[in-house]
Amino acid sequence: MTREEIEKLDDDYEVCYCMGTTLGEIREAIRNGAVTMDALKERTEAGTLCGLCESREIDDDGDREVHLDEILAAYAKGS
């Protein structure tokens, strides 16, 4: 998913169903320096239970619309 596609999602969009972590919480964590997967998971707890929200490779059934690695690529790396 591109940054433009991610930008269309609301801040209250739930990225991690298991932990209830929203896109807004993830964006805030990235703005505050969580620019690696480990740091993002530590700050938000997203991806720490089932892991499907981490990447499309893990979410091979496509249960999640957007994944943490895509969000990191779009925001942390300025894509």
- Residues 33-46 have pLDDT tens digits of 999 999 999 999 99
Number of domains in the chain: 1
The residue-averaged pLDDT of 44-56 equals 96
**Residue 79 confidence (pLDDT):** 44
The residue-averaged pLDDT of 45-66 equals 95
Q: Mean of the per-residue pLDDT values for the chain?
A: 94
* Residue 59, CA distances (Å) to 25, 30, 33, 74, 79 in order: 21, 22, 26, 19, 22
Range of the domain at 33: 3-76
Percent of the chain at pLDDT exceeding 90: 90
- Classify each residue of 20-37 as buried b or exposed e, where b means 16 or more C-beta atoms within 10 Å of its C-beta: ebbbebbbebbeeebeeb
Res 77 pLDDT > 90: no
